[in-house]
Amino acid sequence: MDIQLQPDPAASDDLALIGRAAGGDLAAFEALMRRHNQQLYRAARSILHDEAEAEDAVQEAWWKAYGHLRDFRADARPATWLTRIAINEALMRRRRNRSRETLIQSAYQVSHEQDTMPMHDPDTAAPASASPDQMAWRAELRRQLERRIDELPDLYRTVFMLRAVEEMPAAEVATVLGLPEATVRVRFMRARRLLQAAMQPEFDPRAAGAFSFAGARCDRIVAGVLARVQAAG
């Protein structure tokens, strides 16, 4: 008996938004951004290890996607296509940053100047309002998880972020990263084991709350991209 695959309503909605946005409908493009901002941010953040850099990478990824909306042929799901653009942008930025660091180190060695620039200070701001003990404990546990994810080897970090945090299918992660699906499954399994060894045994690393995507961050990315689109138009 033939098995008929059910259509993906979300993908169909995305295709409709892409079609409208390609025709100049900025409201449709904003809806597309807000729908996928979190996934793109988490993917970029897993590569860059820096919130501000990840935001910039996502904005640039959306700008590039906007310029190629008419070229999208649905060979992959829209979410896969968009995530791949964000990952490529993050990888380019990481390479550029490493090159810049190499130049700075070389200049330092030549001039013997004292480098007094502070290192990146991760955002450790407390919640705006007091929380009950249980909420405080959960927030600390989430921070521990985010720190442990950051400490994962590059080989595993993005695979874990997309599979566990964003819950993308292994086949889709393989498409986004250009890896065999079997490799994605192995890396995800090893990442889970590393995290389980680092965290408390009873803690489940499948925590969708990690690297939560605050509304203000989403608003910044959307506003930045739309301003750029309108300026170009």
Q: How many CA atoms lie within 13 A of 154 on its CB side?
A: 8
pLDDT at 109 over 60: no
From 93, 28, 27, select the one nearest 59 (Cα to Cα).
Answer: 93
**Percent of the chain surpassing pLDDT 90:** 37
Whole-Å CA distances, 136 to 6, 45, 95, 100 = 42, 24, 37, 39
Token digits for 24? 């100049």
Sort 18 into a burial class: Cβ within 10 Å, 0-12 / 13-18 / 19+. buried
Question: What percent of the chain clears pLDDT 70, i.e. is strictly above it?
Answer: 71
pLDDT score, position 211: 66
What domains can you pick out in the chain, each with its CATH number?
A: 14-109+213-232 (1.10.1740.10), 134-198 (1.10.10.10)
* Angle at alpha carbon of residue 177, lines to 172 and 181, rounded to 5°: 55
pLDDT for 17 equals 95
Of 108 and 27, more confident:
27
Q: Token pair for residue 160?
A: 């874990």
Q: For the chain, what is the radius of gyration of the CA atoms? A: 20
pTM above 0.75, yes or no: no
Is 62 in a helix, a strand, or coil? Answer: helix
Do 185 and 164 touch, CB atoms closer than 8 A? no
Average pLDDT over residues 50-74: 92
Question: Residue 9, SS3?
Answer: helix
Residue 8's pLDDT band, with cuts at 50, 70 and 90, is low
Q: How confident is the model over 119-155, as pLDDT tens digits?
A: 333 333 444 444 566 666 667 777 777 888 888 898 8
Q: pLDDT tens for residues 195-215?
A: 888 775 445 545 556 666 667
DSSP 205: S
Q: Is 13 a residue whose pLDDT tops 80?
A: yes
- Report the pLDDT value the prediction gives residue 165, as an integer from 0 to 100: 82
More confident residue, 136 or 104: 136
Q: How far is residue 163's CA from residue 206's CA, in Å, rounded to a whole number? A: 9
Query: If we measure between CA atoms, which residue out of 5, 108, 101 comes closest to residue 50?
Result: 101
Is the pLDDT reported for residue 103 higher than 60? no
What does the pLDDT read at residue 193?
87
Q: So what's the pLDDT on residue 134?
A: 61
- Range of weakest confidence among 32-41, 99-108, 125-134: 99-108
pLDDT average, residue stretch 81-100: 83
φ, ψ (nearest 5 deg) of residue 124: -120, 25
Q: Which of these, 36, 33, 35, 17, lies nearest to 25 by C-alpha position?
A: 17
Asked whether residue 33 carries a pLDDT value surpassing 70, the answer given is yes
- Angle in degrees, 0-180, between the axes of helices 78-111 and 51-66, rounded to the nearest 10: 130
C-beta separation of 153 from 47 below 8 A: no
Residue whose tokens read 């409201």: 27
